[in-house]
């Protein structure tokens, strides 16, 4: 898959280290300050989450949730959207993006805020009315496309090339990755440090930005579902795959493959890729509601499900963080 988004792509050819660098994330944080929310954290007792764990853990374990679903557009994506538009020249034609929802809402909001036009291409196969409404409410023009997610990405790339609009890729530019990395920088400052962070993976922009910030200081664990297992398959088969997303998290995590830049970071920094069932995700969302009265979208519940399903069992006194990456879903999506 190719797109017209090639700014700074040549950096990869001459660099032996993953990009973006922490200095790019620092610059992004300064650039977007005042445009995005400093989202809160919440420490939750293991007992409240009914975590499966060894008896040796007793009741000492706390899990720290980063409530990024309370962001201004309901997801972390607004960080990358603003970093793209504030760090690059936006032409008269405005911006275009491809999205299942969260990235589209973020691009629409950032564009409208900064006085630009925005056009969002959304594949019908994963389109959700709640997310379409959010994109339109933030001022974006929504274009529904036929075929697969990859087909939608190709249409968006062609539209950018033909119109001259700025293509804001959902995960495969340094601007997007650096913006996403600011959430890790913020999370670390709020907690004073952690040992492990659980992150839901789609196209890899979020986990790539997070891994770029943390380097070797934190164990960054990827969590996916059986219908959106892009990273797990990339580890097994290589990155040149075409995943046809399905299941409860398809609208959030339905990237057809990892971004080139994302993969450069992930393959060096991420060692564990967990794959869960849709039932695990529904159960995690219900547990989150019962324990905290918080509602997250499926993609966010995926990260928590690593713990509530027992797929990831922390060690005694391990400091575990969970990123709740988005909240753009019907409030009762997980109710039986």
The whole-number pLDDT of residue 125 equals 84
The whole domain housing 133 covers 76-167
CATH number at residue 113: 3.40.50.1100
Residue 27 lies in a domain: no
Q: Which of 200, 259, 214, 211 is nearest to 234 (CA)?
A: 259
Q: Do residues 283 and 295 share a domain? A: yes
Whether residues 147 and 232 share a domain: the answer is: no
For residue 308 the two structure tokens come to 């509530």
Within this chain, do residues 200 and 314 fall inside the same structural domain, yes or no?
yes
Which run of H or E residues covers position 62? strand 62-67
Last residue of one domain, picked from the residues 167, 191, 216:
167
The answer on 141 and 93 residing in a single domain is yes
User: 132-163: per-residue pLDDT in tens?
Assistant: 999 999 999 999 999 988 889 899 999 999 99
Domain check: are 70 and 187 in the same one?
yes
How far apart CA 163 and CA 301 sit, in angstroms, is 37
Return the structure tokens found at 30.
């300064």
Give me the torsion for CA of 39, 45, 48, 53, rounded to 10°. 120
Rounded Cα gap, residues 284 and 125, in angstroms:
25
Both 70 and 193 in a single domain?
A: yes
Same domain, 83 and 62: no
- Tell whether 82 and 160 lie within a shared domain: yes
Give the chain's length: 336
Residue at a domain's end among 110, 145, 167: 167
pLDDT mean by block of 10 residues, the chain; 336 residues: 31 42 96 98 92 57 94 96 96 93 94 97 87 93 91 91 93 93 98 96 94 96 96 94 89 85 94 97 97 96 96 91 94 90
Give the pLDDT of residue 1: 30
251 and 134 housed in the same domain: no
Q: Could you tell me if residue 332 is inside a domain?
A: no
Is residue 19 one of the residues assigned to a domain?
no
**Is residue 330 domain-resident?**
no
Last residue of a domain, one of 114, 137, 167: 167
The pLDDT of residue 131 = 86
Query: pTM score, two decimals?
Result: 0.89
Q: Are strands 95-98 and 118-123 parallel, antiparallel or unpaired?
A: parallel
**258 belongs to a structural domain:** yes
Domain shared by 152 and 274, yes or no:
no
**Distance between CA atoms of 302 and 253, rounded to whole angstroms?**
10
**Alpha helix locations (H) across the chain?**
11-14, 22-32, 77-87, 102-114, 129-137, 149-163, 174-191, 205-214, 230-237, 250-253, 260-269, 278-292, 298-308
Domain annotation covers residue 11? no
| Cross-strand pairs, 241 | none
What b/e string do you get for 208-220 counting C-beta neighbours within 10 Å, with b at 16 or more?
A: bbbbbbbeeebbb
pLDDT at 153: 87
Name the domain count of the chain.
2
Indicate whether 131 and 186 sit together in one domain: no
Check residue 55 and give its pLDDT: 52
Asked if residue 244 belongs to a domain, the reply is: yes
Residues 127 and 218 in one domain: no
- Is 52 part of a structural domain of the chain? yes
């Amino acid at each position: 898959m190719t797109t017209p988004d090639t700014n700074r792509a040549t950096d990869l050819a001459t660099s032996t280290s993953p990009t973006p660098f922490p200095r790019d994330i620092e610059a992004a944080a300064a650039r977007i300050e005042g445009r995005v929310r400093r989202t809160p954290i919440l420490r939750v007792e293991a007992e409240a989450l009914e975590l499966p764990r060894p008896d040796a853990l007793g009741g000492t374990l706390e899990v720290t949730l980063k409530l990024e679903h309370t962001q201004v557009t309901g997801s972390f994506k607004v960080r990358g959207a603003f970093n793209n538009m504030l760090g690059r020249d936006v032409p008269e034609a405005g911006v275009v993006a491809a999205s299942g929802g969260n990235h589209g809402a973020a691009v629409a909001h950032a564009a409208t805020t900064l006085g630009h036009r925005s056009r969002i291409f959304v594949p019908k196969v994963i389109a959700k009315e709640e997310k379409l409404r959010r994109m339109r409410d933030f001022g974006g023009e929504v274009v529904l496309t036929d075929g697969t997610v990859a087909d939608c990405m190709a249409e968006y790339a062609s539209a950018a090339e033909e119109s001259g609009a700025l293509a804001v890729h959902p995960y495969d530019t340094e601007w997007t990755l650096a913006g996403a990395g600011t959430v890790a920088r913020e999370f670390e400052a709020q907690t004073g440090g952690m040992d492990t962070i659980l992150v839901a993976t789609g196209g890899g922009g979020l986990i790539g930005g997070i891994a770029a910030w943390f380097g070797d200081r934190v164990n960054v664990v990827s969590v996916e579902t059986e219908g959106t297992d892009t990273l797990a398959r990339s580890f097994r088969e290589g990155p040149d795959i075409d995943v046809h997303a399905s299941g409860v998290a398809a609208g959030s995590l339905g990237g057809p493959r990892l971004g080139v830049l994302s993969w450069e970071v992930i393959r060096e920094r991420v060692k564990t890729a967990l794959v869960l069932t849709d039932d695990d995700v529904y159960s995690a969302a219900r547990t989150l509601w019962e324990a905290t009265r918080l509602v997250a979208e499926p993609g966010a519940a995926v990260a928590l499900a690593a713990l509530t399903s027992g797929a990831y069992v922390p060690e005694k006194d391990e400091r575990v963080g969970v990123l709740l990456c988005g909240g753009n879903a019907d409030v009762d999506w997980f109710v039986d």
